[in-house]
């Protein structure tokens, strides 16, 4: 049960990171590069 909860928390963190990346990609056009 503890391991399952740990995995769930890791998945949440990973999903939030992906969401932030998606938001950054939407805010910053891909054609604009440094």
Cα–Cα distances in angstroms (integers) from residue 8 to residues 17, 21, 27, in the given order: 14, 20, 29
How many domains in the chain? 1
pTM over 0.75: no
4-30: per-residue pLDDT in tens? 667 667 788 888 888 888 888 888 776
Which domain range does residue 22 map to?
Answer: 1-33
Amino acid 27: pLDDT: 82
Cα–Cα distances in angstroms (integers) from residue 7 to residues 13, 15, 23, 24, 30, in the given order: 10, 12, 24, 26, 32
Amino acid 33: pLDDT: 61
């Amino acid at each position: 049960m503890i391991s399952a909860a740990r995995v769930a928390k890791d998945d949440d963190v990973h999903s939030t990171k992906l969401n932030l990346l998606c938001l950054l990609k939407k805010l910053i056009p891909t054609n604009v590069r440094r």
